[in-house]
Amino acid sequence: MSVEKQRLKDKNWLNWGPYVSNRQWGNVREDYSPNGDAWRFANHNNAESYAYRWGEEGIAGISDAKQLFCFALSFWNKNDERVKERLFGLSNPQGNHGEDIKEIFYYLDNTPTHSYMKMVYKYPINKFPYDDLVSENGRRTKKQPEYEIFDTGIFDKDEYFDIFIEYCKGEINDILVRVTVCNRSKKDAPIVVMPTAWYRNNWKWGYNEYQGQLEDSHEGCIDIKHDSVALKKFYSKNKNAQRAFCDNETNNPKLYGNPEVENTFYKDGINDYVVHQKNTINPERKGSKASFIVEADVKAGQCEIFEFRLAPNEMEDPFYDFENIFSTRISEADEFYGDIQQDVPNEDEKNVQRQAFAGLLWNKQFYHYNVGKWLKGDPNHEAPRDFENYVRNTEWEHLHNKDIISMPDKWEYPWYATWDLAFHCVPYAIIDGDFAKNQLLLLTKEWYMHPNGQMPAYEWNLSDVNPPVHAWSCFRVFKIDEKTNGKPDLLFLEKVFQKLLLNFTWWVNRKDKNGKNIFGGGFLGLDNIGAFDRNMTLKDGEHLEQADGTSWMAMYALNMMRIAMELAQYYQVYEDMAIKFFEHYL
């Protein structure tokens, strides 16, 4: 058994991972507008100054599983008008084909415990074409192709940095960070590398939550002070790196014209200090957000390496074993995937599959959404909406999500989608069966599933109806896990079967409009290219005749029958259930 597979038995290794979203702005959870305009309320332009309520974002960001403490990388090419601390893209109203990321990055490697992770981000040396991308896409119609970042010519002369970002874990609470900046151009170019640590703001909403501090320690070191965070020291190998501090607080004077508050250093303080040389960092050298500021001139065609460490205690030399630990973790990752890919015929296919697994693993995200609090507001943060007449997700006040969940994509779709997740779990079962099973069970928990049996769809409309593929995924994951571990996890299959009975009954009661076993409506697979909104209520009791839901329900019935037949091999009581679902299919 590989070392990485052994590590999977200790769930503490999963306490730290790539759980920070690539985009927190423009989602429903952060929308406190009176009219539900989520794309404009929190947007890319105000994100650097706005403290989020429900999560965080960053480039190659990591956090603990409760997202108390976050870490991500920021960069500045000395040409942009803002630090590159979040990935840029167009909102849904801006894009001629909807929301669309306008950056180039690739996930290269990741292990199930995140003991080793690697990605590359391509950062232009010249001024990033924010305005060009917004204006040109705004001019184009839906019938025209999207205007991509390559179309701007920003990469034409290879005037960009390849920034390789690698993480590995020395131990459960010991995280090593290596950033390799390669200048692909024919001229020397400056770069500012800013590893940034901060606390998610969970203290200002009126619940008396504990607030941690980041404080200056000594050259090359920042103290991490939080009772519930095991990391205590933040090190930079470059001891000449400047240390800058501010607070993860909304800049209300900038965004809303509120009066300045003395001795307040807002979330955008480090950005304004670096780019505009403003006095916006805390001279007392403490705060809830902190960065090392490391400057370098990278020679044409050459690379510079920057090393950092998040450690559980004081270390006399935090970097003495750096290379050995990285080499070991990379070797263990090779061993893990070597075991899995024994039947993959060639190196190209192995590389494609391994990067696909990396994409899955990098797209885990801490997802927090308490619908009741979001609708009604917090003691110190009122929701500026008419609760009685607001419509979005009002039937889901019971829903309280605060978990690590597999996302469709942490930028374009940084919220879970139940039927997408069901598909994610099948390949997940190959590399981490427990995670796959727990994800499938999670969506059936009481704080997710509606009391009437409906599963939450996605945050834009939790009541939407998606294809019922959960049973199919559960059975596939069960069989893959059985093959991997040599024994069936009957407890998992029984647990999920009981909850799926509730969901199947909801389908029968709610979507069979005329009681004739004809199912339709909802977002059932082809609505992205449909001519009609099939969830829309028509006037005078009219409804669209449609049948694709019936095929999904036939599949659902057969999948439930297969699960019942599998369980009937061990428990005779399930034989009647198998017959029941066969009759449903007929």
Per-residue pLDDT tens digits for 365-414: 999 999 999 999 999 988 877 766 678 999 999 999 999 999 999 999 99
Q: What is the pLDDT of residues 241-255, one digit of tens each?
A: 999 999 999 999 999
Alpha helices in 177-264 (DSSP H): 252-256
For residues 430 and 422, the answer to whether their CB atoms sit within 8 Å is no
Band (pLDDT 50/70/90 cuts) for residue 557 is: very high
* Cβ-contact 306, 181 below 8 angstroms: yes
Least confident stretch, 164-173, 272-281, 380-389, 572-581: 380-389
Q: Give the β-pairing of 59-64 and 105-110.
A: unpaired
- Token digits of residue 26: 């423009």
- Among 87, 150, 155, CA closest to 124: 155
CA gap 563, 558 in Å, rounded:
9
- Helices first, then strands: H and E counts in the chain: 14, 21
Interatomic CA distance for residues 256 and 249, integer angstroms: 14
Return all residues near 480 (Cβ < 8 A) that are at least 6 apart.
426, 429, 430, 433
Which region among 41-55, 417-431, 481-495, 545-559 has the lowest average model confidence (pLDDT)? 545-559
For residue 290, what pLDDT is reported?
A: 99
CA distances from 66 to 20, 73, 261, 403, 542 (A): 11, 20, 30, 7, 47
pTM of structure:
0.95
Give the pLDDT confidence of 401-460 residue by residue, as tens digits.
999 999 999 999 999 999 999 999 999 999 999 999 999 999 999 999 999 999 999 999
Domains, in order of start, for the chain: 15-341 (2.70.98), 417-585 (1.50.10.10)
Burial class (CB in 10 A: 0-12, 13-18, 19+), 66: middle
SS3 letters for 269-299?
Answer: HHHHHHHHCCCCCCCCCEECEEEEEEEEEEC
For residues 121 and 73, what is the distance between their CA atoms, to the nearest angstrom?
11
Q: How confident is the model at residue 525 (pLDDT cuts 50, 70, 90)?
A: low
Query: What pLDDT is attached to residue 550?
Result: 75
Q: What percent of the chain stands above pLDDT 70? A: 93
Show the tokens assigned to 287. 């705060």
Give the Cα separation of 402 and 423 in Å (integer).
Answer: 21
Q: What is the mean pLDDT of residues 540-550?
A: 63
